[in-house]
Chains A and B, each alone.
Chain A
Amino acid sequence: MPTSPLIPRGRRRAAPAPFAHEAPADQLHLLRRATWGPTPDSLAEVARLGTAAWLDRQLDPAALDDGAVDAFAGRMRFYGRSAQDLWAGGYAATEWNAMFETGRLTLARQIWSTRQLFEVVVDVWNNVLHVTNPSSEVWASRQDYDRNVVRRHALGTFGDMLVASARHPAMLTYLDNASSTAARPNENYGRELLELHTLGVESGYSEADVKGSARLLTGLTVGRDGGGVYEAGRHDGGGRTVYGFTVPPHSAADGDGWIDAYLRWLAVHPVTARRLCGKLATRFVSDTPPAALLDAMARTWVQTGGQVVPVLRTMFDSPHFWASAGQKVRTPQEDYVATLRTLGTGMETGGVGGITKIYWHVLDQGHAPMAWPAPNGYPDVAAAWTSPSGTLARWNRHMDFAAGWYPPELRFTPALQLLASIPPTFGGLVDALGVRITGSRLTADEKAGLLLYAGRSEGSPCSAGDRWVRDNLRYLVALTLDTPSFTIR
C-alpha cells in the first residue's frame, strides 16, 4: 500500500488547521473514500501515520475515542432503549421520535465521529439490510435494529448480521414475515431475503424458490412483548429445496434451527459473496467495480465465512482501489456531511436543534440516512443522484453553510478564518481556497470560474483588508464547494 512523506505533524486544536499543502494524492483518495469527507485534521493524521496504519486504526473502531459523539448521543432520549421497552409503552411522547433520533444521530456521527470508516460501512449495511427509517411499523424497534443488528455486526460477520436481522422485530414487521403463517404464507420477506439481502435477482432463483423460502421462514414473528420470537405453531415443516438448500420434513420445534441454517447458508453462498462484495466495492471503488477485484473480495468472503474486515482489507490492499481516484461522485447526503466536515463546523453546544434542521435538509433532498422508501436501500451510483434539482439543493446548502447562515445552532467557521492568511493576489486566494476546501488544487477551469465571479485576474492584489474580500469571501467559499473537484468522492 502506498505511503507518503510526512507533512507538519502533531497540530491538534479545536479550530481546524489550515491545509498547509496539497495533500499527497493517495492520502486524499483514501480519506475521500474511507471517511465522510477529508478534514484538515484527518489529513494531518493520515500524513502522520501513513495510509496503512491509518486504516488499521479505523478498522478497530472500539479503540478510537469517540467521547464527543457519545456525549451527543446522550442527548437522544429514546435511541438507547430496546424495542420491547418502547413497545411496552409509558413514553407517551415517543411516537416516531425514536426513529427521527436514529436518523439524526447517524447524521451527527457521520459529521463528527472519529470512527469514520465504521460509519461508512454502517451506511453500506444499512442499505443492504434496509429497514426504512422512519416508517410506520418500526416506530418502537428501528433504533434497536440500528444498535443491535447493523452496528453490532458491521465489522463482524455478515451471517451473524443476517440472522440478527431476520429475527429482529423491525425486519419482521417491515417485510411482513411477522404475519406469515404455514396456512397462507406472506411472500414478502422470503423474496426480498433472496433478492436484496443475499443472492440477488440475477442469481436465477425461481418463483418456486421464493415460495419455498417464504414457507421455510414461517414461524419467525413478533411476540406480545414486541420482540422477535419463533412460534412453532406457525411454522411449515414440509421438506423442500430452495436454490439448492435442502430441508427435510421436520418437526415444528426444529424449524427454528432449519431457518438459522438456511440463513447462514445463504450468507456465505458464493453468489451472495460476490453480490455483497459488489455493494462494498461500489461504495469504495467505483460505480462499475472491476471483476478481478470482486473475485478477490468474494474469495476472501467465502474463505473467512463472511467476515467483513478481511474483505475490506482485500479491497484496500488491491491496486484497483488505489487506481480508482476520481471515479465516484458524492451522494447528496455525503455532500452535506463532507461540506460541514471540511468547513470545520462544530457540534452544537446543547440540544439537537441544529442537527434536526440538517436532517430536514437531507430528507427534503430524498437522502436522509436510512429513509429510502423501498426495501432495496439507497443506490450509490452517480446516475441515481446527479440531477438538476439535486445540484440546486447542493449549491444552495453550500451557500448556507459557507456563510454560516443556517442552521444557527451549529458553530460555523467564518470564511475569513478558513485560511491562515489571505494571499497577496486573487490567483493565490483561489488556489489557497481550493486546497483548503478540497485538499487539492483546482483545475484551470475551476480557477477561471472563481476569478470570473470575483471579477479579478490572477495577479490582482488581494488582502484581508480588501473590502471585496470581507464582503464576498463567503460566496467564493460557496463556489469552491460547488466545484466538480469537491463533488468527487
Chain B
Amino acid sequence: MSTAGTRNDPHCGCEEGSRLLSRRSVLRTALAAAAAGVTTYAVGDVSTQVSFAAPGWNGETLVVLSLHGGFDGLSAVVPGGDGAYYAARPTIAVPRSTLLGLDQMFGLHPAMAPLVPFWKSGTFGVVHAVGQSDPTRSHFAAMEQMETAAPGSSVRTGWIDRTIGSLGTGSVLNAVGISNQPPRSFAGPAQETTTTSLEGFSLIGPGDDRPTWHAALRRMHTGARPEVAAPANTLLRAMEDVAKLPGTGAGPANGAAYPGSDLGRALAQAALLKKSGAPVQVIALDYGDWDMHAGLGRVDGGWMRDKLTELSSALAAFATDLGPAFGSTTLVTLSEFGRRVEENASGGLDHGHGNAVLLLGGGVVGGRVHGAWPGLGADRLVDGDLAGTTDYRAVIGEVLQKRCGAGSLQTIFPGFGGSQLGVVRAR
C-alpha cells in the first residue's frame, strides 16, 4: 500500500507537520519491555556530596550510537567485490560503479560521502561481519542481550552501567543518555543521567527559590522506594551539575552543520556536553528506524539512502563541531543484528546476523575495514545470513581498554576473553 503522508513526505501538510513521528523514524528506545521484570536498582548513598569528576577519568569519552531496528551493514559498507552480494539483491544492491571505494572488496554507499574525508584522514573506520555470540533474530531479545552484554550469566545490569562502575564515578554526568528514556545498558547501580537537552534542564515554577525547592524534594524522597528515589536524587544532582557547566547554551563550532533532525539535535547536545568539559565518560544515543522489511529503496532514492544521508551528515557535523575534543572522543555504532543477505519480494530485507560497526574518533585506526570477512558464498552463510566473525564486545572492549583506561574487562563483559583487533590507538 503506498500512502499519502508517507515516510518520504513527513511534512505532509497537516497541522502538525513538523511534529510527526513515524514508526520508521524511531525504533530507538531501550526496549525495556525485554527487561520486564528486571529491576536492578541499588540505592547507594545518592545524596552524599561528591566531587565533580571521577578521580580516575582520563578525559576520553566513548559515544555509543545505537542503530536500533537492525542496520543493514551490507548496504552501508558494501562488499562490492563479492559477486554473491549482487546475485542476492537483484533490485536493491548498491551498484559497484556508484560505490565510494574503500579497498578491493568494500565500498561505501554514496550517501555516506560526508564521512569520506574522515576515512582519508584515518579517523573513520569500519569493522565488518560483527555479531553476537548467541545470535537471535528477535529485535527485543537481541537488543536485551546486546545491552546487557553478559550472555550465559545471571548478570542483569547493563554494560554501560558496569563500565561506569569500573571506571569510577564522581558525577551523575559520567554517563549521559541523550534521549527520553535511559537505554537498557544503563540499568544498574551507577547513577546515569538521561535528558534530551542540557538547556532548560531545570525546574519551572519556584523562581529564585530553587535551593529550597531542591532541598524539599530531597527531603520528600528520603526513604522512598529506590526506583522512585534514585532518579529523583540523580535529577537533583544532575540539574546542579549541569548548572555549573560553562557554555551549554552555545551553538555548533567550526561551521559544523547538523541535519535538522532528532539525530542532529542529539549529536549536537552530545558535542556540547563534551566541549563543556563535563566529566562524561560515556554518551549513549539512539538512531532507530532501520527495520526495512519492505521498500528499502535504491541507491539513488528511498529509505536506506535517506537514512544513510542523515547518519553520515550528522556524524560529520559531530566530528567537525568537536574540534580539539575530537581527539579524546570515540564514537561506535551498534545494532542488534544485520539483515538477511537475500532481498525479499517486498524489496526489503528480513532479519539477519552479521553486521558492520562504524568507528569515528581521534584515536580510531581508520581508513580500513577491520575484521575477518567470511564471504557471502552459500557455504559461508549462517542460516542465510552474513556470519559474525568478530564479537561486538571485542570492539567495545578494545576502546574501553586502550582509550578509556579500563583495566580488566571481566566486570564489564563477564566471561568474555576477546583478542585485540587494532581498531583504536592507545591514548
Contact = CB atoms under 8 A, between A and B. Distances in A.
Physical interaction between A and B: yes
Interface residues of A, number: 89
Contacts of B238: 388
A186 B293 contact: yes
Interface in A420-460: 443, 445-446, 448-450, 452-453, 455
A445 B222 contact: yes
A484 B182 contact: no
A95 B13 contact: yes
Contact of A378 (B5, B33, B182, B348): B33
Contact of A179 (B25, B138, B187, B346): B346
Nearest to A388: B235
Interface in B18-62: 19-41
Contacts of B232: 391, 484
Contacts of A139: 3-5
A478 interface: yes
A136 B203 CA distance: 35
Contact of A135 (B13, B14, B22, B187): B22
A185 B196 CA distance: 39
Contacts of A195: 138, 140
A243 interface: no
B82 interface: no
Nearest to B350: A187
B223 A445 contact: yes
A488 B226 CA distance: 12
A482 B222 CA distance: 13
Contacts of B180: 364-366, 389-390
Nearest to B28: A373
Interface stretch (A54-62, A107-115, A168-176, A263-271): A168-176
A102 B359 CA distance: 42
Contacts of B20: 96, 134
Contact of A226 (B1, B22, B222, B345): B1
A83 to B, nearest CB: 10
B138 A201 contact: yes
B234 A445 contact: no
Contacts of B3: 136-137, 139-140
Interface string A47-77: 0000000000000000000000000000000
B379 interface: no
Contacts of A174: 23
Contacts of A175: 293
Interface in B254-298: 288-289, 291, 293-294
Given A183-B345, A195-B140, A484 B350 contact: no
Contacts of B1: 137, 169, 173, 178, 222, 226
A363 B20 CA distance: 10
Contact of A374 (B4, B10, B139, B225): B139
Contacts, number: 265
A483 B345 contact: no
Given A373-B28, A383-B35, A392 B203 contact: yes
Interface stretch (A15-23, A157-165, A317-325, A394-402): A394-402
Of A169, A175, A446, most B-chain CB atoms within 10 Å: A446
A466 interface: no
A450 to B, nearest CB: 7
Interface residues of B, number: 93
Interface in B366-401: 383
Contacts of A246: none
B194 interface: yes
Contacts of B32: 379, 381, 383-385
Contact of A93 (B14, B289, B346): B14
A386 B230 contact: yes
B220 A363 contact: no
Contact of A392 (B30, B195, B225, B348): B195
B37 A287 contact: yes
B28 to A, nearest CB: 6
A354 interface: no
Contacts of A185: 344-345
Contact of B351 (A187, A326, A379, A395): A187
Contacts of A93: 14
B208 to A, nearest CB: 13
B21 A445 contact: no
Nearest to B229: A484
Given A97-B14, A186-B346, A381 B212 contact: no
A158 B232 CA distance: 39
Interface string A478-489: 110011100110
A288 B156 CA distance: 15
B427 interface: no
Given A93-B14, A136-B7, A139-B5, A386 B33 contact: no
A469 B249 CA distance: 36
Interface in A356-390: 360, 363-366, 371-390
Given A180-B345, A184-B344, A479-B217, A384 B7 contact: no
Nearest to B384: A207
Contact of B194 (A169, A176, A363, A388): A388
B216 A453 contact: yes
A136 B23 contact: yes
A477 to B, nearest CB: 11
B204 interface: yes
B227 A329 contact: yes
Contacts of A381: 32-33, 35-39
Given A176-B348, A483-B220, A484-B228, 15 more contacts: A95-B5, A139-B3, A181-B345, A184-B345, A360-B19, A374-B140, A374-B288, A383-B32, A395-B203, A452-B212, A479-B220, A482-B217, A484-B220, A488-B225, A488-B228
26 contacts: A136-B3, A136-B10, A136-B23, A136-B24, A139-B4, A175-B293, A178-B1, A183-B345, A186-B293, A191-B138, A191-B351, A363-B21, A373-B21, A373-B25, A381-B33, A381-B36, A381-B39, A384-B32, A385-B32, A392-B203, A399-B204, A445-B219, A449-B216, A449-B217, A479-B213, A479-B220
